[in-house]
Structure 1
Amino acid sequence: MKIPLPYIARNLWARRLTTALTAGGLALVVFVFATVLMLDEGLRNTLVTTGEYDNVVVTRRSAETEVQSGVDRNMSNIVASHPAIARDAQGRPLLSKETVVLISLPRRGSGKASNVVIRGASQQGFALRPQVHVTEGRLFTPGASEVIVGSGIARRFAGVAIGDQLRFGQREWTVVGLFDAGNSGFDSEIWGDADQLVQAFRRLAWSSIVLRLSDSSRFEQLKGDLENDPRLTVEARREQTFYADQSKALSNFISILGLALSIIFSVGAMIGATITMYASVASRTAEIGTLRALGYQRRHILAAFLLEAMLLALVGGVAGLACASLMQMLSFSTTNFQSFSELAFGFRLTPLIAVKTLMFAMAMGFIGGFLPAVRAARMKIVDALRAA
């Protein structure tokens, strides 16, 4: 004979104030836990969506970022001649030789400077990144000192509106358009003509070569041919993999920090839940004795109090998750530890994160309620009724 669930739920409602305070503490822990997972997911999603699966990024061997890389013109021509590269309607290889540099721009409001990525791209670069499209103004003119600004940069930095002048590379560059890259990492970049940027910064080599495979299955062939060619000192990676690797250092930092905070807060929340359940047991001694006298066994008392604690945790978990979901309306920016440039991303809630969060809340409820439930189950009928 099991204790009915409505009876267990009514016990929580009967102590509304205590229930609300304990659930509030659990909700705070769940909020921290969920936002850390959402932050990590948002970061990884931003960088993974930056790349196309069939695109390949070729950089100097051992270079972790494009800023550190250099591929000279002779090597770039050898790479461009590989038969695995897809061709456009005119028979030209779908390939973009790009240069990437960092400049410093003032933030809106504070005026503090932060590093921003300037990417020199060819016209083919836009064909390789279909998620990038101009939303205001126009595309930069090849051969001109013009740039277009990503939506993430436009929101957070001053002096990047259409018609503004930016000075870098000993030139004045005119902002002629704004572009959106579908919440990918390109939103945190400024794009201009690759040939003009190479000249302005007196570069003798490209930072990277981005190409499209004619067939996705030919990646290993391309990678092997390029990396084993004695004339080349390059490394080839799928574009998604290349940008996902950029998130590892920052993602690890966020995960470690979030785990530490979650552990510290969860210990406090579980202590609070334990105290609440112990108080519940102490105030319901007569009830426990009556239930035992009616024929309910010890395991039923144990299960009832554990379920009560887990229902309490579930209430807090749902409340914390609901508050965390509101964070998706906010955008966040930080420094990419790999390139030391500004990177904008947002919180992202997925079904898997929701499940993990609620399981975490239920685990806190189980741990916090276990000892009080054992105490309630071990009460003897006579002692419980006498104490009443």
Structure 2
Amino acid sequence: MKAIPLSYIARNLWVRRVTTALTAGGMALVVYVFATVLMMSEGIRATLVATGQPDNVMVLRKGAGSEINSGISRGQAAIIESLPGIATDATGLRLVSKEPVVLNNLPKRDTGKPANVTVRGTTPQGLELRPQVRIVEGRMFRPGTSEIVTGSAVAKGFRGAALGETLRFAGRDWHVVGVFDAARSAFDSEIWGDAEQMMQAYRRNSFSSVVFRLADAERLDAIKAEIENDPRLQLDAKREDKFYAEQSAALATFISILGLTLSIIFSIGAVVGATITMFAAVASRIGEIGTLRALGFRRGAVLTAFLSESLLLALVGGLVGLAAASLMTTVSLSTTNFQTFSEIAFQFRLTPKIALQTILFALAMGFVGGFIPAWRAARLKIVDCLRAA
């Protein structure tokens, strides 16, 4: 079966360039929404997953979904700290950090509206357990003082959180002596201070979590079993990166479902527009169709030509929409983490997988919108076409 040249198909789109541009523009808008939603979901997921380290273990109260609603007594923390298989630093100290984590309400810098910020009490070992965290302004807080360091997102987004400023919470003033960058992880949206000072200020008798590094990552199952089988503990242990991946699941899934639902609704309009455009193309080219059939092109070739035209139209719209969505990678936003009810800053993230899904979505719209007009064009009789011409 002879195939109609692609150049002929593309030339027909160029001849109707105004209609082509309008239809492709409608598809591009739908594709933009579709791609942006996927990029937002991936950005949140990447931010939280990057927070955890594969050789760190996070210990929480059994059944606790987050650090905020977990509680570990000092006695339980001491038992965890004495477990075998925990790595040590250069001075021989065990890499264990017992940390209280609370929410604090702070006003945003631009609007003055309050939002929850995660406040973490930590230790020098806690900083060593997070190699992605580095001080970029000022210095680290001194243990035993009311000094704090703030994540870069907090320093930019909240009043009183920049270097040299003072925050008041938990009944005392806290002086910001440093700002840290956490490589776009969730720690960028936290405030860190001395663990014991935070415990005193918030009148807490228990830690929220205990984090430690394994000397041998292969011993995770053995240490996990030892913790979970000890009747004195009643605690859960899991790899830190797995814990933060689970933290991202609810929010990322919600955004994906909401965004995809909107994209599907919008795509109906884009498909209708493509269908109308292709029906108009068929109606205006009945004479051409008859000529092609008379020259020996069969029904399948005609169907393929018109369907290819619709797919090419969708591809143009898809590429334009994807290009527009890619500009969002330069934008930083914040939202509320459903697990902790605190602000989390993230960036849109475009991956090859998202780009492929976006183009396939655009082509699917083109196929659905172009198939019926293409089928009608293929079913036209040669005599009727030539008579109409």
Please give the TM-score of this superposition, normalised by the length of structure 2. 0.99
The residue aligned with 1:79 is 80
The residue aligned with 1:160 is 161
What is the letter of the counterpart of residue 30 of structure 1?
V
d(CA) in 2 for partners of 1:152, 1:58: 26
The residue aligned with 2:276 is 275
Contact 2:155 2:163 survives alignment (8 Å): no
1:5-45 Cα distance to aligned partner (Å, 9 max, x none): 11111110110000000000000000000000000000000
Q: Which runs of 5+ in 2 are unaligned?
A: none
d(CA) in 1 for partners of 2:308, 2:36: 26
d(CA) in 1 for partners of 2:223, 2:313: 57
Contact 2:287 2:386 survives alignment (8 Å): yes
Contact 2:123 2:194 survives alignment (8 Å): yes
Q: Report the Cα offset of residue 259 of structure 1.
A: 1.4
d(CA) in 1 for partners of 2:124, 2:304: 67
Structure 1 stretch displaced more, 367-376 or 75-84: 75-84
Say whether 1:347 aligns with 2:361: no
d(CA) in 1 for partners of 2:269, 2:216: 55
Percent identity reads 63
Secondary structure (helix, strand or coil) at the match of 1:247 reads: helix
The residue aligned with 1:247 is 248
d(CA) in 1 for partners of 2:124, 2:110: 34
Secondary structure (helix, strand or coil) at the match of 2:335 reads: strand
The residue aligned with 2:370 is 369
What is the letter of the counterpart of residue 168 of structure 1?
F
Say whether 1:105 aligns with 2:97: no
d(CA) in 1 for partners of 2:124, 2:93: 12
What is the letter of the counterpart of residue 347 of structure 1?
F
The residue aligned with 1:188 is 189
Q: Report the Cα offset of residue 90 of structure 1.
A: 2.4
Secondary structure (helix, strand or coil) at the match of 2:179 reads: strand
Structure 1 stretch displaced more, 87-96 or 31-40: 87-96
Secondary structure (helix, strand or coil) at the match of 2:308 reads: helix
Q: Which runs of 5+ in 1 are unaligned?
A: none
d(CA) in 2 for partners of 1:167, 1:54: 35
The residue aligned with 1:296 is 297
Q: Report the Cα offset of residue 244 of structure 1.
A: 1.3
1:191-245 Cα distance to aligned partner (Å, 9 max, x none): 0111111111111111100111111111111111100111111100111111111
The residue aligned with 2:90 is 89
Contact 2:189 2:345 survives alignment (8 Å): yes
d(CA) in 2 for partners of 1:206, 1:219: 22
Please give the residue correspondences for 1:1-388 in structure 2 after superposition, counting only pairs within 5 Å: 1-388=2-389
d(CA) in 1 for partners of 2:123, 2:156: 25
Q: Report the Cα offset of residue 101 of structure 1.
A: 0.8
Q: Report the Cα offset of residue 89 of structure 1.
A: 2.2
What is the letter of the counterpart of residue 80 of structure 1?
E
Q: Report the Cα offset of residue 91 of structure 1.
A: 2.3
Number of aligned positions between the proteins? 388
What is the letter of the counterpart of residue 235 of structure 1?
D
What is the letter of the counterpart of residue 368 of structure 2?
I
d(CA) in 1 for partners of 2:294, 2:50: 63
Please give the TM-score of this superposition, normalised by the length of structure 1. 0.99
What is the letter of the counterpart of residue 218 of structure 1?
R
What is the letter of the counterpart of residue 321 of structure 1?
L
Contact 2:30 2:263 survives alignment (8 Å): yes
Contact 2:156 2:162 survives alignment (8 Å): no
d(CA) in 1 for partners of 2:20, 2:339: 46
1:61-102 Cα distance to aligned partner (Å, 9 max, x none): 111111101110111111111112112222221111111011
Secondary structure (helix, strand or coil) at the match of 1:115 reads: strand
